[in-house]
Amino acid sequence: MDLPEHAERPALVGRHHEIALLDAALAEVRAAGRAVIVEGEAGIGKTSLLEHVVRGASGSGFRVVRSAGSQGSAPIGYGGLHGLLHTLLPFVDALPPRQRTALRVAFSLEDGPAPDRLVVGLATLSLLEEASAHRPLLLAVEDLQWLDRSSVDALMFVVTRLADAQVLVLGTLRSGGDVEFLPPATVERIPLGPLDHDSAERLLDEHAPELAGATRARVLRESQGNPLALRELPIALREHGIDRTTMYSRLPATRRLERAFLDQLSSVPPASRRFLVLAAAADGADVQDVMDAARRLDLSIEDLRPLEERGLLAVTENDLRFRHPLLRSAVQSAATTSEWVECHLALAAATAGSQRAVWHRSAAAVHRDEALASDLERLAQLARDRGAHAEATQAFSRAATLSPGTHERCRRIALAAETARAGGLTSEAVELLEHLDLTEIDPHTLAEVTFTKTIISLTSGALTLSRGETAAVLDRLPPEAHAEDRMKILWGAAVIARGRNLPRDHWEELSRQVEATASSSPMKPVALAVLAPLGEVAPLRAQLPGIVPKLVGRPIELISLAIAAESLQDLETARTAWELCVERCHELGFVAELTQALRGRGNLLLLSGRLREGLADAEYAERLAVDTSQPLMASVAAATAARARALLGDSAGAQEDLERSIRLSGTSPLAITGADARWAAGIAALVAGDHRNAVIELTHMTLHPTRALWAIGDRVEAAVRAGRRESVLDNILEAAVAARQYRSPYLSSLVARSRALVADDADARPLFEQAIELGLLSESPLETARSRLLYGEWLRRGRHVTEARAQLELAVDEFEAAGARAFADRATSELRAAGGRNAAQPATRPATEPLTPQELQVARLAAQGLTNREIADAVYLSHRTVSTHLYRVYPKLGIAARRQLPAALAASGYE
């Protein structure tokens, strides 16, 4: 894109390289959106570069929207995002319903359920795509470090997903100091360093041509290439002389500039200096509110005039602006406590009834104040209701600090911690919990805190809830007075015990505690089911299906129920619970819980042989887990995806997934994390014919008892092929006992196949046939096909070639239908060796180029009749991204219209 003549901008001294990078970014936006962050110390010229791009974009037909973080502004959640996007809100009606509502609720434009931050981020992306479809768009955001956290989170979600939008997001970020976020690694960052000596001389000559000799050399040296210093130090020099300026030399650049600014204030009248403190306290406030507060301090517009004349403060239509943020910092640091308090109280009076008034009162508070703490708690609840969890956490925390009573202080810290956890701010939640004295908490708050710790422990691993901690909490909750609080803790502890595969004596102790608690909660039998020893499963297994309807709308409990059903091998109830949980999480916008539900459903889809659907769920779960700061869930999802790819025959993709899973898991205490990764690695090795390594990996499946049972067929096959038959005989016996106790056709099928592989020839035939019969009964076509393959191999070795061909032909067809390419190839080779057809003819032939998991997910929903906007809401994509996926799907399936999707998916083996 060539800039038109009228768009030529004045050159910035010494910034030719950075200008070239930014001009290139602007020129490339029409092909694909991108984001750039200019980073550097205060005064280094970030704003000048941003202004350069703004002028270029305006002259090139771009729509330009801009906003700036404000250092002292009240933390109003999504306030910065609203200020940035308010001129684009006419496009909001084009968004999918869930996204449209989320954005309007976040901006307080309508009432509704608190939106998840991921949905707000997605809605922001969709809005930008809509606006940029009409005209390329520049989002210019200054001082990202001071933007409210919720707005930053939404923007950071957007900046990695701009490929389908004609959007350039350009931000500036001050390096060093308290920056609460790191831009994604994929975002281009332009570090802005000091000017070189020649450029510094040129800039100084432009601003202070009268300087010469030693004085000029001193200013150049003290400025250290900082453009703002090259402008401001000569001003200080003119007013105070060389000796005073020399005092700055031992200070860092930022402090040196603050001192220069302060020196300029020495000649300002006292009333004007008070006005400057008021303006610093009011940063970001409406100018009318500031003038009202000024009158309350006996200040007038005349006191503002000297500040304007010296260029220290500018009055705009809406607010007062400091010449530079460092001037505001300097004023704030120089103000006395009494000056600061009186200014905030005046501003609170001027803005009475608003959220800003509460924050001004909070800034002025020097003593504990229950009335103020209550007002802050109400602000926190309002922020939470708009999905602004970061700001809600901040308000709850400040309310706790100002609470005179121990009970209220602890209760508010607990609220802050749970709000942070729910918003994906795990590190903030952990920090709050670590500073909470559990001995001061009332029993109910103690139960709530413990439950928050349980969820963090299970989803992120950022903290560990030990057996001792759980026992100590339960000791403070007598069964007769706190039955329901105890049960909430106990079922969480039960899931942790199974998830970490803790010693069985701990399971038994927890089970006794559950039995002794007189709770009517449906989670009591769930907890007992999670902890149940083999001999006591039948009564509990019978209760689980009836509990599912009682937990509708309670995703965390539904997840626990699904885990309990899996532990009792009631796969039908588990599948129902996972499906219901996915549906309800979509409806309610519970994205964090949706991550776990998708991972669980995806795992059961793999067990049933629906590999492509299971892979789609696993990838979707990992994407959401990363976006919602749940590394352990992302790790398990990646391991599930690796298992799917290994079964599909994509060994390279499986290895990539495994490496990512290991990286995400860190030092996870959850057994499922390691077990799922080992399972995937074992299957990948088995499929590749590396039986020795398959045995090594699958031996570690004992880390998780449920996974160990499901992997018994894989472990036995690997051991037999590696010549280590004797090593798995005890494992087969244990699995056989479990299969009988659980009355599970699926597990019984795996056990029968395993027994057949280690049996003498005289006993193998009926066991293989039993495995196939039970596989058909359990509706697990992939495992049935694997039993047919192994049976066919056995029959061929025994020269029963006609029977072998029959089994192998069915196996080939079932593997092809499932997309299990490696198994299909092996079955085809066996079939040829048995004298069967030379080339397997699959019952259905997959598309020429396979659909990606996300393309398949979108195509399935479109085939069900959902519109693009409905699909976007269902899978957390923008509807334009959905359109892009369908655009790629049609040629892959060889169709031209949406109505052809159901038949094309079926014909290509995807249904």
**Cα gap 681→678, rounded to integer Å:** 5
pLDDT over 90 percentage in the chain:
58
Task: Over range 650-654, report the average pLDDT.
Answer: 93
Give 488-502 pLDDT, tens digit per residue.
999 889 988 888 888
CA dihedral 627, 632, 633, 634 (to 10 degrees): 50
- Let me know whether 291 and 393 are in one domain: no
Token pair for residue 210? 């009268």
**Cα gap 709→679, rounded to integer Å:** 11
DSSP-derived 3-state class of residue 75: coil
Task: Over range 312-338, report the average pLDDT.
Answer: 85
With respect to residue 804, please indicate whether it lies within any of the assigned structural domains. yes
Residue type, 58: S
- Let me know whether 327 and 225 are in one domain: no
Checking if the pLDDT of 553 tops 80, the result is yes
Task: Over range 304-322, report the average pLDDT.
Answer: 87
With respect to residue 457, please indicate whether it lies within any of the assigned structural domains. yes
DSSP-derived 3-state class of residue 909: coil
pLDDT of residue 909: 76
3-state SS record for 557-589: HHHHHHHHHHHCCCHHHHHHHHHHHHHHHHHHC
Q: For residue 738, what are the CA distances in angstroms to 579, 743, 763?
A: 26, 8, 22
DSSP-derived 3-state class of residue 664: helix
Could you tell me the sign of the dihedral formed by the alpha carbons of 328, 330, 333, 334, in that order? negative
pLDDT of residue 573: 96
**Cα gap 372→369, rounded to integer Å:** 5
**Cα gap 569→386, rounded to integer Å:** 41
Among the listed residues 58, 45, 57, 54, the one whose alpha carbon sits nearest the alpha carbon of residue 18: 45
With respect to residue 395, please indicate whether it lies within any of the assigned structural domains. yes
Instruction: Provide the pLDDT confidence category of residue 670 given band limits of 50, 70 and 90.
Output: low
| Placement of tokens 């048995």 in the chain | 834
Checking if the pLDDT of 254 tops 70, the result is no
pLDDT of residue 10: 54
pLDDT of residue 652: 93
Helix 611-627 vs helix 853-863: crossing angle, to nearest 10: 110
Token pair for residue 544? 């689980």
DSSP-derived 3-state class of residue 66: strand
Task: Over range 27-53, report the average pLDDT.
Answer: 92
- Let me know whether 548 and 524 are in one domain: yes
Most confident of 173-182, 534-543, 750-759: 750-759
Task: Over range 539-560, report the average pLDDT.
Answer: 91
- Let me know whether 467 and 490 are in one domain: yes
What are the backbone dihedrals phi and psi of residue 351, each rounded to the nearest 5 degrees, phi first?
Answer: -115, 25
pLDDT of residue 847: 45
Residue type, 411: R
The domain that holds 872 is classified in CATH as 1.10.10.10
pLDDT of residue 5: 38
**Cα gap 884→389, rounded to integer Å:** 32
Where is the domain boundary, 265, 284, 302?
265
Give 392-414 pLDDT, tens digit per residue.
999 999 999 999 999 999 999 99
Checking if the pLDDT of 648 tops 50, the result is yes
Q: Are 23 and 159 in contact (CB under 8 A)?
A: no
In this structure, the strands spanning 63-68 and 137-142 are parallel
Among the listed residues 466, 511, 460, 465, the one whose alpha carbon sits nearest the alpha carbon of residue 490: 511
**Cα gap 864→877, rounded to integer Å:** 18
The mean of the pLDDT values for the chain is 88
Instruction: Provide the pLDDT confidence category of residue 269 given band limits of 50, 70 and 90.
Output: very high
Q: Which of 5-9, 381-385, 726-730 has the lowest mean pLDDT?
A: 5-9
Spatial CB neighbours of 602, under 8 Å, sequence gap ≥ 6: 613, 614, 615, 616, 617, 618, 620, 621, 637, 640, 644
What are the backbone dihedrals phi and psi of residue 174, each rounded to the nearest 5 degrees, phi first?
Answer: -75, 125
Instruction: Provide the pLDDT confidence category of residue 6 given band limits of 50, 70 and 90.
Output: very low
pLDDT of residue 669: 58
DSSP-derived 3-state class of residue 299: coil
Domain extent, residue 699, equals: 620-833
**Cα gap 239→69, rounded to integer Å:** 32
Q: Are 784 and 772 in contact (CB under 8 A)?
A: yes
In this structure, the strands spanning 137-142 and 167-174 are parallel
- Let me know whether 416 and 508 are in one domain: yes
Token pair for residue 494? 């039960």
**Cα gap 197→752, rounded to integer Å:** 81
Spatial CB neighbours of 243, under 8 Å, sequence gap ≥ 6: none
pLDDT of residue 92: 95
- Let me know whether 298 and 257 are in one domain: no
Instruction: Provide the pLDDT confidence category of residue 321 given band limits of 50, 70 and 90.
Output: confident
Give 426-477 pLDDT, tens digit per residue.
889 999 998 888 888 888 899 999 999 988 888 777 777 788 888 888 888 8
Checking if the pLDDT of 576 tops 50, the result is yes
Q: How far is CA 646 from the centre of its chain?
A: 26
Token pair for residue 799? 């020269």
What are the backbone dihedrals phi and psi of residue 816, each rounded to the nearest 5 degrees, phi first?
Answer: -60, -45
Where is the domain boundary, 802, 833, 864?
833
pLDDT of residue 455: 87
With respect to residue 845, please indicate whether it lies within any of the assigned structural domains. no
pLDDT of residue 501: 81
Instruction: Provide the pLDDT confidence category of residue 181 given band limits of 50, 70 and 90.
Output: low
Checking if the pLDDT of 9 tops 90, the result is no
pLDDT of residue 788: 96
Checking if the pLDDT of 3 tops 60, the result is no
- Let me know whether 177 and 303 are in one domain: no
| Placement of tokens 């000091």 in the chain | 194
Instruction: Provide the 8-state DSSP code for 896.
Output: S
- Let me know whether 276 and 216 are in one domain: no
With respect to residue 501, please indicate whether it lies within any of the assigned structural domains. yes
Give 127-146 pLDDT, tens digit per residue.
999 999 989 999 999 999 88
Where is the domain boundary, 348, 364, 380?
364
pLDDT of residue 4: 40
pLDDT of residue 754: 97
Checking if the pLDDT of 379 tops 60, the result is yes
Task: Over range 632-658, report the average pLDDT.
Answer: 94
pLDDT of residue 381: 95
Side by side, which strands form the sheet with 188-191? 63-68, 137-142, 167-174, 34-40, 188-191
Instruction: Provide the pLDDT confidence category of residue 848 given band limits of 50, 70 and 90.
Output: low
**Cα gap 87→107, rounded to integer Å:** 13
Question: What is the secondary structure of 805-874 as a DSSP string?
Answer: HHHHHHHHHHHHHHT-HHHHHHHHHHHHHTT--SS---SS---SSPPPHHHHHHHHHHHTT--HHHHHHH
Checking if the pLDDT of 283 tops 90, the result is no
Q: For residue 269, what are the CA distances in angstroms to 278, 307, 333, 402, 489?
A: 14, 9, 19, 36, 63
pLDDT of residue 813: 92
Q: How many residues does the chain have?
A: 911
Q: Which of 227-231, 371-375, 783-787 has the lowest mean pLDDT?
A: 227-231
Token pair for residue 893? 């399936």
Checking if the pLDDT of 245 tops 70, the result is no
| Placement of tokens 């009926």 in the chain | 766
pLDDT of residue 253: 55
Q: Which of 72-86, 355-369, 759-773 has the lowest mean pLDDT?
A: 72-86
Checking if the pLDDT of 250 tops 60, the result is no
Token pair for residue 882? 């959905």
Q: Are 614 and 626 in contact (CB under 8 A)?
A: no
**Cα gap 143→356, rounded to integer Å:** 21
- Let me know whether 524 and 542 are in one domain: yes
Among the listed residues 872, 853, 878, 868, the one whose alpha carbon sits nearest the alpha carbon of residue 898: 868
Residue type, 597: A
**Cα gap 611→759, rounded to integer Å:** 30
Checking if the pLDDT of 595 tops 50, the result is yes
- Let me know whether 117 and 221 are in one domain: no
Checking if the pLDDT of 784 tops 90, the result is yes
| Placement of tokens 């002292």 in the chain | 72
Q: Are 111 and 102 in contact (CB under 8 A)?
A: no
Task: Over range 23-45, report the average pLDDT.
Answer: 92
With respect to residue 378, please indicate whether it lies within any of the assigned structural domains. no
* 171-198 burial code (b ≥16 CB/10 A, e <16): bbbbeeeeeeeebeeebeebebebbeee
Checking if the pLDDT of 263 tops 90, the result is no
Among the listed residues 47, 43, 45, 62, the one whose alpha carbon sits nearest the alpha carbon of residue 4: 62
Q: Where are the alpha helices (DSSP H) in 423-554?
A: 426-434, 443-459, 467-475, 483-500, 504-516, 523-531, 537-547
**Cα gap 447→473, rounded to integer Å:** 8
* 417-426 burial code (b ≥16 CB/10 A, e <16): bbbbbbbbbb
Helix 781-797 vs helix 712-721: crossing angle, to nearest 10: 20
Instruction: For residue 35, give the H/E element and its range.
Output: strand 34-40
- Let me know whether 43 and 108 are in one domain: yes
Task: Over range 605-610, report the average pLDDT.
Answer: 94
With respect to residue 613, please indicate whether it lies within any of the assigned structural domains. no
- Let me know whether 405 and 298 are in one domain: no
Q: Are 320 and 330 in contact (CB under 8 A)?
A: no
**Cα gap 96→121, rounded to integer Å:** 13
With respect to residue 614, please indicate whether it lies within any of the assigned structural domains. no
pLDDT of residue 248: 46
In this structure, the strands spanning 188-191 and 34-40 are parallel
Domain count, the chain: 6
The domain that holds 102 is classified in CATH as 3.40.50.300
Q: How far is CA 466 from the centre of its chain?
A: 26
Task: Over range 336-364, report the average pLDDT.
Answer: 93
Token pair for residue 905? 């998916």
Checking if the pLDDT of 783 tops 70, the result is yes
